Structure 1
Amino acid sequence: MRDFKELKVWKKSHELCLLIYDVTKQFPNEEKFGIVSQIRRASVSVPTNISEGCGHDSNNEFKRYLRIASGSISEVEYLLILSKDLNYISNEQWSNLSDEVISIKKMLFNLVKAIV
């Protein structure tokens, strides 16, 4: 069994999740059940699926959960683009968050490749 708290990708995705929660506090109230809910759920899904995958003994199961996390981080990526285009976040916020997303995507991809 793996300890998810030791994985750099889990730590980074947890930090991104916290940032997403913070930045979405400024979104319009009418987005509470729209983009805010969707991007928060997607960002939570990344470290959650990494954690859940670590709880399985099988490498194949672990990889399956990492792939689900990869899908969720891509969802976050799109929702950040949408948020920028709707002027809910600044270009600077988008750039910083996008850099984190890309880093996590690469880490997940490389971790899946490294698991035999």
Structure 2
Amino acid sequence: MERKKIETFEDLKVWQKGIDLVKQIYLRTKEGELSKDFGLRDQLRRATVSIPANIAEGFERYSRKEYLNFLNIAKGSAGEVRSLLRVALEVGYIDQPTYTQLSNQAMELSRMLSNQIQSINQSLK
């Protein structure tokens, strides 16, 4: 199978999956109890948007070291999303299946970012 050449950040699978998670979070936070908790809702949205935004910003930088820094920030945001989702579950704003689905998506992103970070680290040696 031939791999598509990566020319823009939009070509990155990890960025595409980040956008998918953003969409899911926005859909889940626009109704129900979570939509009324402005603090938690907004923090969850900001943390989620931060993932693809940092991937894009890092990709557009001129150095691989800078890109690496932004990937690390994106990975941190993926962890923040998982933590905030757990808060939403514990206070009853989302149900277990929703938590599991969204948390798994964030975990998959985290793994993909880890792989990319490791790959770049290897290439810098």
TM-score w.r.t. the length of structure 2 is 0.87
CA shift at 1:27, angstroms?
4.0
For residues 21 and 104 of structure 2, the distance between their equivalents in structure 1, rounded to whole angstroms, comes to 10
Q: Which runs of 5+ in 1 are unaligned?
A: none
Q: What one-letter code is carried by the residue in structure 1 that aligns with 2:9?
A: F
Establish whether residue 31 from structure 1 lines up as the match of residue 37 from structure 2: yes
Q: What one-letter code is carried by the residue in structure 2 that aligns with 1:77?
A: R
For residues 37 and 76 of structure 2, the distance between their equivalents in structure 1, rounded to whole angstroms, comes to 22
Counterpart among 59, 73, 79 of residue 74 in structure 1: 79
Counterpart among 92, 112, 115 of residue 117 in structure 2: 112
Instruction: Report Cα offsets for 1:1-20 as digits up to 9, x if no partner.
Output: 95110111000011001100
For residues 85 and 2 of structure 1, the distance between their equivalents in structure 2, rounded to whole angstroms, comes to 42
Counterpart among 37, 55, 59 of residue 60 in structure 2: 55
Going from structure 1 to structure 2, the CA distance change for 1:63 and 1:2 (only over 3 Å counts) comes to farther
Counterpart among 10, 14, 18 of residue 9 in structure 1: 14
For the residue of structure 1 that corresponds to 2:113, the secondary structure is helix
For residues 23 and 111 of structure 1, the distance between their equivalents in structure 2, rounded to whole angstroms, comes to 28
Max Rg structure: 2
Tell me if structure 2 keeps the 8 A contact 1:46–1:70. Answer: yes
TM-score w.r.t. the length of structure 1 is 0.94
Tell me if structure 2 keeps the 8 A contact 1:27–1:36. Answer: no
For the residue of structure 2 that corresponds to 1:26, the secondary structure is coil
For residues 109 and 27 of structure 1, the distance between their equivalents in structure 2, rounded to whole angstroms, comes to 33
Instruction: Report Cα offsets for 1:63-116 as digits up to 9, x if no partner.
Output: 000000011111001000000111111100001111101100000000011112
- Aligned residues between the structures: 115
Establish whether residue 18 from structure 1 lines up as the match of residue 18 from structure 2: no
Q: Which runs of 5+ in 2 are unaligned?
A: 1-5
Q: Does 41-50 or 22-31 show the bigger shift?
A: 22-31
Instruction: Report Cα offsets for 1:22-63 as digits up to 9, x if no partner.
Output: 10112435412x100100000000000000001112110000
